[in-house]
């Protein structure tokens, strides 16, 4: 085992994955790649990449459902656009402007590594936690001080709770 793999194994054992935008499910590790707009699926034993799932702009945090069937991914949103009057086209402003638009939470089927839902939530969704019974996913939205509640079976937003 290489030094790099030893560090990852230690991180898994210490529970650092949830803090770092990664989570462990059975025999797989799911890692949010903010700069690549993907979630990597790694084999937990060999650390080899099994899949790369495109989930839109700036995925930030991942959480596996208690039954291990779905991975929920917070997505900070698409970059804001401004019109360039001289050339009559839209231009992306910058990665942090994504915080000014609503984000989304994506659901990935762990059996197929396919995106099965995209649920719009509040501004700059940062973290997702799935309830112990798997019925709801709770998402913190940093720019509008809310928590979004998703019904995981219906894969739809059911509540937005002001918290700040």
- Residue by residue, DSSP assigns 104-155 as EEEEEETTTTEEEEEEEEEESEEEEEE-TTSSEEEEEETTTTEEEEEETTTT
Portion of the chain with pLDDT greater than 90, in percent? 56
- Using 50, 70 and 90 to split pLDDT, how confident is the model at 148? very high
Instruction: Residue 110: name the closest of 83, 70, 157 by CA.
Output: 70
pLDDT above 70 (res 52): yes
What is the reported pLDDT for 19?
A: 45
- Backbone φ/ψ region at 155: left (φ over 0), alpha (ψ -120 to 50), beta: left
The predicted structure's pLDDT at residue 88: 44
39 vs 1, more confident: 39
* pLDDT tens digit sequence for 80-89: 444 444 444 4
Q: Which domains does the chain have, with CATH numbers?
A: 3-162 (2.130.10.10)
The mean pLDDT value for 1-12 works out to 48
Query: What's the mean pLDDT in 129-154?
Result: 95
Query: Cα–Cα distance between 15 and 38 in angstroms, integer?
Result: 22
The per-residue pLDDT for 142 is 86
In sequence order, what are the beta bridge partners of 147?
A: 140, 161
pLDDT tens readout for residues 12-41: 443 444 444 666 667 899 999 988 999 999
CA distance 76 to 123: 7
- Give 101's pLDDT tier (boundaries 50, 70, 90): low
Confidence at residue 137, expressed as pLDDT on a 0 to 100 scale: 97
């Amino acid at each position: 085992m290489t030094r790099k793999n030893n560090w990852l194994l230690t991180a898994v054992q210490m529970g650092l994955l949830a803090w770092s935008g990664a989570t462990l499910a059975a025999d797989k590790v799911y890692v949010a790649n903010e700069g690549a707009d993907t979630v990597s699926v790694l084999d937990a034993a060999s650390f080899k990449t099994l899949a790369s799932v495109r989930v839109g702009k700036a995925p930030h945090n991942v959480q596996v459902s208690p039954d291990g069937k779905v991975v929920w991914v917070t997505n900070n949103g698409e970059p804001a656009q401004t019109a360039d009057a001289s050339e009559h086209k839209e231009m992306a402003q910058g990665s942090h402007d994504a915080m000014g638009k609503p984000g989304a939470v994506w659901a990935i089927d762990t059996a197929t590594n396919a995106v099965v839902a995209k649920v719009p939530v509040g501004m700059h969704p940062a973290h997702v936690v799935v309830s112990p019974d798997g019925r709801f996913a709770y998402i913190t939205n940093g720019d509008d001080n809310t928590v979004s509640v998703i019904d995981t079976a219906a894969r739809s937003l059911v509540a937005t709770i002001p918290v700040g």
